[in-house]
Amino acid sequence: MAKLGKCSVFVVVAAVVLMLVGPCSAAAGEEMQTFDRKFISWDDARLDAYSHSFDFDNGTEQQQQQGEARPSYGEEYYRGSRVIVVDQNGGGDSVTVQGAVDLVPEFNTQRVKIHILPGIYREKVVVPVTKPYISLIGDEGNMSNTVITWHNRASDLDSKGMELGTFSTASVSVYSDFFCATGITFENTVVAVPGDYGNQAVALRISGDKAFFYKVKIIGSQDTLLDDAGSHYYYQCHILGSIDFIFGRGRTLFRDCVVESRAKHGHGGAIAAHHRDAAEEDSGFSFVGCLIKGTGKILLGRAWGNYSRVIYSYCNIQDMITPEGWGDFNQPSRRQTAVFGEYRCMGRGADTSRRVPWSKTRLNFQQVKPFLDLRFIDGHQWLRL
């Protein structure tokens, strides 16, 4: 009986394995050239899937070296992805970044890597919604070597004489899904003067869903990073600005990033101005393990939208934060509904004793847990890092 049992278990298991594996491997040959990858991996952030570069940033190296072996998904995964080279000296496929984006066929189903050789690219770039799976890859070893820069401000006029408005100022705008960028600086060179009109100037706008930024620098002044919509992951990035310089409706995790304020005294602005309209929306900005530094004073966040949600956990916050910490954007009713929290931060700016009483300065672990890792952005579904 026992013997038979074992045997039939084996048969059943084998049958199940065949059922599971059979159709997949049959389909694989066919689909290999056109499959849609519904995730982003390290291979998408690198040029050569087989030459691994273990170049970790200084500062948090311990954790990363333990945690990340950076698996390669191998030839099958990589096959079909295309590399377009941008060289402003004429040695590549395009001399501009936009020219390379224009070379990508619409409704592409495979990753296209745009390798941007070192240089300062003075242009405005748009990645349209019809071109998913694009990687912009510069120099992972030094993100300052490859710069895309422009200088539109909100009060600039378009060809019809209308003001551009903040959202249209972005030096680089990404509307497509599964976007990835590494080793690049995105810059808007407009400098906001406090009290002046129309100085909002976005360096990077990301409106597509499921985007991964690794070792990317985003430089601006007022409204630097428009994290507009979708789920996004910024890992070891450097973001600089002076007023509300991370803003939008994104559901976004910033991990091990440097967030650097260039605020002058008295701006009254914030680092993060997150926009959320209802308690059911799953969006928010979560900063985990980040270094928050620079000049001030500046708020950690202010409520753009009734249910704005911003949380800092395990961050090193230096002494440039307005002691009150958080603002209601002159809408006192938002104090009831905004979710502004801090958990186990350190540094002189992390002193919560003078915070506005309505902020959640003392979140407990259960409350903060959903925001601490990739689960916050459903990363298990679309990131394999």
Q: Is the separation of the CB atoms in 218 and 238 below 8 Å? A: yes
- Between the alpha carbon of residue 216 and those of residues 144, 146, 181, 203, 281, the distances in Å are 9, 10, 7, 12, 28
Angstrom distance (rounded) from CA 231 to CA 37: 17
Angstrom distance (rounded) from CA 139 to CA 182: 7
CB of 341 vs ligand NAG, minimal distance in Å:
20
What pairing do the DSSP bridges indicate for beta strands 146-150 and 339-343?
A: unpaired
Residue whose CB is less far from ligand NAG, 63 or 333: 333
Which region holds residue 217: left if phi is over 0, alpha if psi is between -120 and 50, else beta?
beta
Residue whose CB is less far from ligand NAG, 49 or 143: 143
In 3-state terms, the chain is what percent helix, strand and coil (to 5)?
Answer: 20, 30, 45
CB of 260 vs ligand NAG, minimal distance in Å:
15
What residues line the site for ligand NAG (CB under 6 A)? 58, 142, 144-145, 277, 306, 333
Instruction: Read off the tokens for 249.
Output: 């409706």
Q: What contacts 145, CB < 8 A, 6 or more positions away?
A: 118, 138, 139, 183
Helix (H) or strand (E) holding 129: none
Residue whose CB is less far from ligand NAG, 141 or 268: 141
- Specify the amino acid at residue 177: D
CB of 331 vs ligand NAG, minimal distance in Å:
7
Angstrom distance (rounded) from CA 213 to CA 136: 10
Residue whose CB is less far from ligand NAG, 335 or 384: 335
Residues belonging to the active site: 244
Residue whose CB is less far from ligand NAG, 64 or 144: 144
